[in-house]
Amino acid sequence: MILKKGHPCGTNRWEVIRTGADVKLKCTGCERVVMLDRPTLNKRIKKVINPED
């Protein structure tokens, strides 16, 4: 998935690791893992892409 704001490492692509009330995301650039609550994530999503892209 692509978020509106880029990560400090220079990429804005994230991989979803776990879903629930909170969503766990992993940056595809630097492998950092963050957790966001679902309403905040829904505001920040720019585009959802397939893992193969």
3-class SS at 53?
Answer: coil
**Cα 31 versus chain centre, distance:** 11
Question: In sequence order, what are the residues at sequence separation of 6 or more whose Cβ sits closer than 8 angstroms to the Cβ of residue 14?
Answer: 1, 2, 3, 7, 25, 26, 27, 28
Domain boundaries in the chain?
2-47
Instruction: Supply the pLDDT for residue 51.
Output: 73
What does pLDDT average to in each consecutive run of 10 residues of the chain (53 residues)? 90 93 94 95 91 67
Instruction: Supply the pLDDT for residue 53.
Output: 60
Instruction: Supply the pLDDT for residue 39.
Output: 94
Instruction: Supply the pLDDT for residue 43.
Output: 94
